[in-house]
Chain A
């Protein structure tokens, strides 16, 4: 399910990381553009219209979050940000600024490729309004507002359903607490623990063991992700 030929703009100032990305991505059929500064990134993005951005948050000339916001303003290609460990706030900021996903350095190539596949698939997919969403044993029928696990119907409250539908429509993507709050509780909601409490309820109903979730994954300090492939 790789995407041969997809044009990837790598924005990264460290040459070792660029070398590793060049080696691993070109051998899998991706075409690569490389920028070492935000300025270069803007120029290349404008002139080449890439299919995907791999963007390091620690750029020498500009805050990567700013660049993300700027790119998101006019480019529709998915943005995956690369950031150092322990900078959860940066990740949240980047995601809220419009990034599609993030990877924590150091990361393995398999993880990178998996995230790129998800991002590209989402970018190509037609909006899934009203469609049937299936992940492993989970089946969400948004038209009939029906949820089943292994064929057994699960009764959800309206809030739980709204939350699940949001996650399902963005399967494979991380949604921050802030995004979920705004989408489910409205623009004025600020209490992140509403999300956590509803999430715990949802897990109790959908997961075999809520303490070992297989579907509704927590990205600690960042948000949640509905697993999108059962045997990834």
Chain B
């Protein structure tokens, strides 16, 4: 007699009843189905499959080629280790079949040099470039993470997650635009999220490097092959209308359009269709975001935002705190000055003299922080509310305040005694002045703080108490380090108030 199989309940997803005890309680069929679905984007069928690492290695003696990371229209990328510096890098080989014209080498060099000068935390850095083994190559920062396309396929983004991506993306684009570089191919495949959640834009300017009709108006170039879907005109669905119709006149506003498409897709899960439906009609979001997205998607560049930074500013004025809002109900209302542990106190006598100079919303990896600066008389206060845990450090030095955190918050390698894990091949350094800094200039242009007079820490959520464990020493009054000692553990909302008189 056949034994009846235990624990065979029909799976709610696929409807099939299979025993799941062996597969840790998971439906075996769904497990297999999911494993069969590819996570890599299907690359366009290119002329030949990529060479295995062993074939590449002889041309790059300074690198240890580890594995092929992926393939797209812009070339094949390998993970490698730079032997001398002992760090991971990404080696991108440009597809030889795309190198169609005699002036490619010159254009490649020019573009690559310009790209190498783009040093920004949200832009994948170019370390080197050249030619080897018959391929043009770029040596880039290795980003340990996934691209937005892969993440979008896995699961839809919440509005908060989408809104966490857009501002750093704007920073990256504005930085490049300020230096005369237009990306031309912004799309989820080119937006990487590393393991700490940081956004990095990849493949800046590659479109132009490989393209034909470029802004310098070289009309004598041969046309791109018909069977390619990605050319200097960008990727269908993401490229601005003028990239198709009028490529000579493409400028930084084309990136804004593409950003709009990505933004739309992040919010709604789909790209904008023929008839542009406002995102708020498809998902529950603040309707003010419609305006931002739709304006970015204006077909006429003149009607779009003219600067990417405008997109960021608008988003920041709209954005709500994350799913963990501070339980203290006032929104950043700087008529409230926190002077002591706990309760915000309205100082009615000083209300009239308090003015908010600026609010800066910082979405650094691992922390959502809202910082604002207020003055009463000649007393300056910086107040920062952030959702952090006791592994984070708030640092103030000179005229900057920033977060540091133990990056890679998985428990570390037990053999090394729970050390923080690595990102990009570097160990986390305590003095790391990362991109999470808020220069006081952005908050208070005329303000140059010296050593603060008073620092208070308030834990706004969760049980237990937190204590400032490290204050500036008399010898080093310029640096304040606040390390929270939270008995409960885990992340919570804190408010730190730093006062200078």
Query: Are A and B associated in one complex?
Result: no
